[in-house]
């Protein structure tokens, strides 16, 4: 008959205790919540950190987080005033007003953190100046009511073959009736050699804001009479296309 010595019993008890502690520690470690990434993988893959830093240097808030608010709707951005420029010897000066425009956001995907975006820009007297419809591939960040949208576009001007890869950013706080303190920035990512010497330099950009502090929401993508700016009757303004051009 096999007997167990007191030393063997103590050793076995210590071994059981050590294994129990190790298993408990491992379980706690596995259950620890992982820190939330400031941006989705799509944003991290497509928008370099140095570009995000550049946008912040331009004075635009970049809201972090992977739980942005619901953004679908149509918003009226007016008056849009330039607040900062990184373009050397910029033709446009801080305080310059660009065309008013409407933004329509739709097809928001809360899992992929993407959204689709349309824009229409108008002269100050209310005439349609240009539009961009069906821009997919917009990435969303943010939490609570605060958001930032990143849009990367590839543009080719048909009249002179100029090509550009550009980033546009919108940030603000969404409310039941619109967006508070909307900020906007553009950055040139790639000018493909700027064959016509008419684009702003790579890694430079401009920043803007809706200067009355509020971008009203609406039910239509058409311009309404309430959005016509009488003080600027007969003025054309500079279109969205000009944002990435030297002048």
pLDDT, tens digit (0-9, with 9 covering 90-100), for 77-131:
999 999 999 999 999 999 999 888 889 999 999 999 999 988 887 666 565 555 5
Residue 61 is predicted with a pLDDT of 97
| Pick from 130, 100, 134, 132: nearest CA to 115 | 134
Q: Which secondary structure element, helix H or strand E, spans residue 240, and what is its range?
A: none
Domain that holds residue 6: 1-32
* 178 alpha carbon, distance to own chain's centre: 17
Residue 91 is predicted with a pLDDT of 92
* Pairing of β 73-77 and β 80-85: unpaired
Residue 176 is predicted with a pLDDT of 94
Measure the N-to-C terminal CA separation of the chain; round to a whole number of Å. 99
Same domain, 190 and 73: yes
Residue 85 is predicted with a pLDDT of 96
Would you say 154 and 131 are in contact if contact means Cβ atoms under 8 Å apart? no
Q: What DSSP string describes 163-194?
A: EEEEEEEEEEEEETTEEEEEEEEEEEEE-TT-
Same domain, 168 and 92: yes
Same domain, 82 and 7: no
What pTM, to 2 d.p., does this model score? 0.78
Residue 151 is predicted with a pLDDT of 92
Residues of the chain whose pLDDT is less than 50? Answer: 1, 11, 25, 28, 223, 225-236
Same domain, 18 and 75: no
Would you say 191 and 164 are in contact if contact means Cβ atoms under 8 Å apart? yes
Same domain, 126 and 10: no
Same domain, 132 and 231: yes
Residue 113 is predicted with a pLDDT of 96
């Amino acid at each position: 008959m096999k007997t167990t010595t007191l030393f063997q019993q103590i050793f076995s008890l210590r071994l059981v205790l050590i294994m129990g502690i190790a298993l408990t520690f491992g379980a706690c470690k596995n259950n620890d919540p992982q820190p939330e990434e400031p941006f989705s993988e799509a944003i991290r893959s497509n928008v370099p950190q140095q570009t995000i830093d550049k946008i912040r240097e331009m004075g635009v808030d970049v809201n972090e987080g992977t739980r942005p608010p619901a953004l679908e709707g149509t918003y009226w951005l007016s008056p849009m005033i330039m607040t900062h420029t990184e373009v050397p010897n910029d033709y446009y000066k801080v305080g310059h007003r660009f065309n008013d425009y409407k933004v329509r956001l739709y097809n928001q995907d809360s899992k992929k953190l993407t959204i689709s975006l349309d824009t229409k820009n108008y002269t100050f007297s209310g005439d349609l100046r240009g539009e961009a419809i069906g821009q997919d591939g917009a990435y969303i960040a943010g939490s609570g009511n605060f958001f930032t949208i990143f849009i990367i576009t590839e543009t080719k001007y048909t009249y002179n073959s100029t090509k550009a890869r550009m980033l546009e950013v919108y940030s603000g706080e969404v409310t039941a009736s619109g967006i508070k303190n909307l900020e906007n920035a553009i950055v040139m990512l790639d000018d493909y050699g700027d064959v016509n010497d008419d684009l702003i330099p790579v890694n430079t950009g401009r920043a803007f804001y809706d200067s009355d502090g509020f971008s009203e929401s609406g039910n239509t993508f058409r311009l309404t009479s309430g959005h016509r700016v009488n003080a600027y009757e007969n003025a054309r303004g500079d279109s969205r296309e000009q944002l990435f051009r030297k002048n």
